[in-house]
Amino acid sequence: MKAPAAAAAAVGNRAGGVDPSIPRFKCQECHRALVVVGVDSFADKLPAQATSAHASSVHGSIMGASRMDNSYVVLSKQNKSHGHGIPPRPPSAAAPHIEPNQPTRAMEGSYIVLPPAAASIYKTSTSEGGGAQLPPPSINSSSLLPGNSFHSNVTVLKRAFEIATSQTQVEQPMCLDCMRLLSDKMDKEIEDVNADIKAYEVCLQHLEQESHTVLSDAGFQKEKLKIEEEEKKLNAAIEEAEKQYSEISSEMKDLEIKSKEFEELEERYWHEFNSFQFQLTSHQEERDAILAKIEVSQVHLELLKQTNVLNDAFYISHDGVIGTINNFRLGRLPNVQVEWDEINAAWGQAALLLHTMAQYFTPKFEYRIKIHPMGSYPRVTDIHKNTYELFGPVNLFWSTRFDKAMTWFLTCLQDFAEFAISLDKENNVPPEKSLKLPYKIDGDKVGSHTIFLSFNKVENWTKALKYTLCNLKWVLYWFIGNTSFAPPSGSLCAAQSSKR
Amino acid sequence: AAPRHHPTHPALLFASAPPKEALSGEKARLGDLQRLLRMRQQSMIGQVAALYPVKVFHDLPHGRNLNSNTNGAHRSLSEENGTLPEENGTHLLNVIKLPQIHALTFLGWQIGKQRRKQNDICEKDLQRSAAVLGYAAHAILLIASYLHVPLRYPLHFGGSRSYVSDCLPSAETASIASAERTCINMTDPKLTVYPLFVECQEDDPTKASYAIYLLHKDTEQLLNYIGAESSGRRVFDNLQELIRIIQSDEYVYS
């Protein structure tokens, strides 16, 4: 505890050695430099001798002291002016500790406020006589020599601080701010201790009261048994709780197992769901494909049902005033030139058609005038076994053989038509529903127009050809309506066997 | 569906049945419809076969063609009647009796021996070849339309002046111009047409030969369409096989 003070004293000594006129002390709490003033007046107070100026100053101090509490050291302005070059502290920095019940005047510089214990000790010293504490020889020597006087001042302060430290258990010196903080802290500690004291007193009172209600041995045994029974009940409750806990634990374990099973089931369900979705999509696509095929097949079948092979192979129509078969024009006009290749192709198809129908009904139909289809080069054989070419080109002014071929074609068509009519009669077909050629055929004339090309206008010839095709068309429709025109399977097999 | 121990969604079990039942119903309906379609096709193509009967002779009756006059031709027809009296379309057999390869040989033979024969023989034989090829083209056209097959090498039927078209452009522009000059209703300039005939004995038979080759490819396409394969490089063999398969029961119930 005293080491810091000794160190401070040592520092002071060194400082005194360097500059004896400037002593240094530090606050032991905040370690700031302290400036101690007023010691001279205190020292001068003890000796009675003094100069006149000093005497007036001393008198002022004594008067102040008499009116104020002994805990203060009064500082004078004049002493401060003689401070030996010490830099003065601002007056506002030091807040004076003012007793509320004591009137005070503004003080300059700083001062030391001692705790009550120290103050009381100090008071006792004062009452005993301040001179007794200090040896008279040292005072005399210090007053005579200025250097010795400062040293004695520092020594006095050091001793004062050591005494204060030993008495108060607090390191000294301290500045005013730290002193105030310390005072507040000690006040709080005092309050706490007082509170503890009161609490202890209350406890002591309770103990004194309770001590009167001490249980007897019998009561104690009774209480002990009661508590033991309660303990047994609690142990039983604990066992029951543990049993329930184990049951619930096992139940929870079962539930976890079931939860895992449910998760597996759910996963399997989703797999099956996805598989089903895939199958459903596949089936839907397959069904859509089948429905599309059905629609296509239906359209195709309907188209084929509406198509007749003979009518398709020998489509007879007209292009203006020119008759056509399979889009081959039969005939020509002065302003419409049709090549012989096309006319020959048309005659070729007409010959093939008439030959096919006649051949179908042979031998019932007396096929006396024969048609020989050979593409665009058909021929006709008459009843006299003469064969004529039914194709061109031929000379307009000399086409005897071509004219005869066309005439015999007309005769053959007429023969087949008459045969068809007789067949209708044979089958009891009503006359109005029987075949009737739209254009009458008489020798080389059809519809009153000669089919001869020689010495004939091409317009008339073309008209006769158109009428011929129209008659052929009516015969074709009769043929389609009265025959199935399909090769017998026996015939087909016979054909195949004959080939092999 | 596999049996499940936890039927969490019973609606799915019922939902899984209708699609399959409906599907089998639709399949049966499609099957019936296709059978009807094939029966109709069989009937129609049978009529085409009756209209254009195909007989393939592997030995050409050269002797009969040596006769040149009209009476000779008539006698040939009588002989045909005698040999095959019960066949429908007997007289047509006389027309369709030049198979493709033999037709080529025949044409070559005729061209090679033109100096020793009269002009009438050459002209008539050329007419026969052109007629046969024209009829074959028409038959193939009809069969393809009834089978609903677009031909890879389109045909233009013109009687004895029929043509086959190739979509590839020809390097011989003169050939195109020459072919187009005699074309009928050939409006597509991108098509190269080849004649299924020889105009006269002096004509080069190369184009006609290529036309016959393309006609053969068309018959091969139709055979492949019904699931059969082509046999060799003969137009009329393929055509005969095509008609035979379509007329058989395996075609309807396949």
For chain A, the domains span: 226-307, 309-482
| CA–CA distances in Å: residue B248 to residues A310, A496, B42, B45, B245 | 22, 12, 8, 12, 5
Q: Using an 8 Å Cβ cutoff, are A344 and B159 in contact?
A: yes
Specify the amino acid at residue A19.
D
pLDDT above 50 (res A354): yes
Which tens digit of pLDDT belongs to each residue from A259-278? 999 999 999 999 999 999 99
Closest partner CB to B30 (pick from A293, A300, A387): A293
pLDDT in tens, B148-184: 999 999 999 999 999 999 887 555 544 544 454 444 4
Surface-to-core class of residue A425, CB atoms within 10 Å of its CB (0-12 exposed, 13-18 middle, 19+ buried): exposed
Cβ <8 Å between A376 and B134:
yes
Tell me the two tokens of residue A64.
């102040």
Do residues A326 and A449 make contact, with C-beta atoms less than 8 angstroms apart? no
The CA R_g of chain B, rounded to the nearest whole Å, is 25
Residue A354 contacts residue A476 (beta carbons within 8 Å): no
**B 106-135 near A (Cβ less than 8 A):** 127-128, 130-132, 134-135
Strand, helix or coil for residue B155: strand
Least confident of A225-229, A456-460, B93-97: B93-97
The span from the CA of A353 to the CA of A175, in Å, is 147
Written out in words, the top-level CATH class of the domain with range A309-482 is mainly alpha
CB contact under 8 A, B159 and A345: yes
Is residue B195 one of the residues assigned to a domain?
A: yes
- Chain B: give the shortest CA distance to residue A242, in Å: 36
- Interface contact B161-A341, CB threshold 8 A: yes
Q: Residue A178 pLDDT more than 80? A: yes
**pLDDT score at A143:** 45
Report pLDDT for A26: 75
Q: Is the pLDDT reported for residue A353 higher than 90? A: yes
Per-residue pLDDT, averaged over A360-385, amounts to 90
- How many other CB atoms sit within 10 Å of the CB of residue B162? 28
Give A-chain residues touching B185 at CB under 8 angstroms.
327
pLDDT, chain A, mean: 76
The pLDDT of residue A192: 94
A312 vs B55, higher pLDDT: A312
- Among B12, B16, B40, beta carbon nearest to A301: B40
Mean pLDDT computed over every residue of chain B: 68
Residue A251 pLDDT greater than 90, yes or no = yes
pLDDT of residue A395: 77
Tell me which H or E stretch contains B251: helix B249-252
- A306 to chain B: which residues are within 8 Å by CB? none
Radius of gyration of chain A (CA): 78
Whether B69 shows a pLDDT value over 60: the answer reads no
Query: Which chain B residue shows the shortest CA-CA distance from A294?
Result: B30
Pairwise CB contact (< 8 Å): B161 & A487? no
Provide the residue range defining the domain that includes B83. Answer: 29-58+72-253
- Please report which confidence band the pLDDT of residue A161 belongs to, taking 50, 70 and 90 as the band edges: confident
Tell me the shortest Cα–Cα distance from B147 to chain A, in angstroms.
Answer: 9
Do the domain assignments include residue B20? Answer: no
Q: Choosing among B54, B58, B95, B149, which should be mutated to test the A contact, i.e. which has the most A CBs within 10 A?
A: B95
Mark yes or no for CB contact B130/A375 under 8 Å: yes
DSSP β-bridge partners for residue A318: A323
Determine what percent of chain A is predicted with pLDDT higher than 90.
39
Per-residue pLDDT tens over the stretch A413-448: 999 999 999 998 998 888 888 888 999 989 888 988
Q: Taking a C-beta distance cutoff of 8 angstroms, is the pair A32, A26 a contact?
A: yes
pLDDT at A376 over 80: yes
Token pair belonging to A389:
């070419």
Q: What is the 3-state secondary structure (H, E, C) of chain A?
A: CHHHHHHHHHHHHHHHHHCCCCCCEECCCCCCEECCCCHHHHHHHCCCCCCHHHHHHHHHHHHHHHHCCCCCCCCCHHHHHCCCCCCCCCHHHCCCCCCCCCCCCCCCCCCCCCCHHHHHHHHHHHHHCHHHHCCHHHHHHHHHCHHHHHHHHHHHHHHHHHHHHHHHCCCCCCCHHHHHHHHHHHHHHHHHHHHHHHHHHHHHHHHHHHHHHCCCHHHHHHHHHHHHHHHHHHHHHHHHHHHHHHHHHHHHHHHHHHHHHHHHHHHHHHHHHHHHHHHHHHHHHHHHHHHHHHHHHHHHHHHHHCCCHHHHHCCEEEECCEEEECCEEECCCCCCCCCHHHHHHHHHHHHHHHHHHHHHHCCCCCCCCEEECCCCCCEEECCCCCEEECCCCCECCECHHHHHHHHHHHHHHHHHHHHHHHHHHHCCCCHHHCCCCCCCEECCEECCEECCCCCCCHHHHHHHHHHHHHHHHHHHHHHHHHCCCCCCHHHHHHHHHHHC
pLDDT at A3 over 50: no
Inspect the interface and report whether the beta carbons of A287 and B19 lie closer than 8 Å: yes
Q: Phi/psi at A441 (nearest 5 deg)?
A: -110, 125
Token pair in block for residue B194: 């080849």
Residues of chain B in contact with residue A279, where contact means CB-CB under 8 angstroms, are 16
Query: Is B5 a domain residue?
Result: no
Which residue in this structure is represented by tokens 């055509």?
B239
Distance from CA of A253 to the nearest CA of B (A): 22
Predicted local distance difference test score (pLDDT) of residue A227 = 94
When pLDDT is averaged across residues A356-365 and rounded to a whole number, the result is 88
pLDDT at B83: 32
Distance CA A200, CA B107 (A): 149
Q: In chain A, which residue's Cα lies nearest the Cα of B13?
A: A276
* Partners of residue B243 in chain A, C-beta under 8 Å: none
Cβ-contact A322, A330 below 8 angstroms: yes
Q: Confidence class of residue B22 from pLDDT cuts 50, 70 and 90?
A: low
Residue A484 has pLDDT above 60, yes or no: yes
Q: What is the pLDDT of residues A337-350, one digit of tens each?
A: 999 999 999 999 99
Residue labelled with tokens 């009269």: B118
Collect all residues of chain B within an 8 Å Cβ-Cβ radius of residue A289: none
Dihedral of CA atoms A6, A7, A9, A15 in degrees, nearest 10, equals: 170
Position B7 in a domain: no
Distance to chain A for B89, nearest Cα, Å? 7
Residues B178-236: pLDDT tens digits? 454 444 445 555 678 888 888 876 777 888 888 988 999 999 999 999 988 877 767 88
- Please give the residue of chain B at the shortest CA–CA distance from A269: B8
| Residue B254 distance to chain A (closest CA, Å) | 16
Facing residue for A377 by CB, picked from B146, B160, B182: B160
Long-range pairs of A289-292 with CB within 8 A, sequence gap ≥ 24 = A290/B23, A290/B26, A290/B27, A290/B30, A291/B26
From chain A, the residues in CB contact with B145 under 8 A are 312
pLDDT tens for A278-307 read: 999 998 898 899 889 999 999 999 999 999
pLDDT at B94 over 90: no
Contacts of A66 (CB under 8 A, 6+ apart): none
**pLDDT on residue A247:** 96
pLDDT digits (tens, 9 = 90+) for A106-153: 455 556 666 555 545 554 444 444 444 444 444 444 444 555 677 888
pLDDT digits (tens, 9 = 90+) for B135-144: 999 999 999 9
- Asked if the C-beta of B29 comes within 8 angstroms of chain A's C-beta atoms, the answer is yes
Q: In total, how many domains does chain B have?
A: 1
B146 vs A273: CB contact, 8 Å cut-off? no
- Average pLDDT estimate for B86-113: 37
Residue A454's pLDDT is what? 84
CB contact at 8 A, A290 and B22: no
Asked if pLDDT for residue A239 goes beyond 60, the answer is: yes
First-residue to last-residue Cα distance in chain A: 145
Cβ distance of B159 and A348 shorter than 8 Å: yes
CA–CA dist A64, A77 (Å, integer):
13
Chain A residues near residue B160 by CB distance under 8 angstroms: 344-345, 348, 374-377
- Express each pLDDT in A34-53 by its tens digit: 766 655 555 554 444 444 44
Model pLDDT, residue A109: 54
d(C-alpha A376, C-alpha A160), whole Å: 160
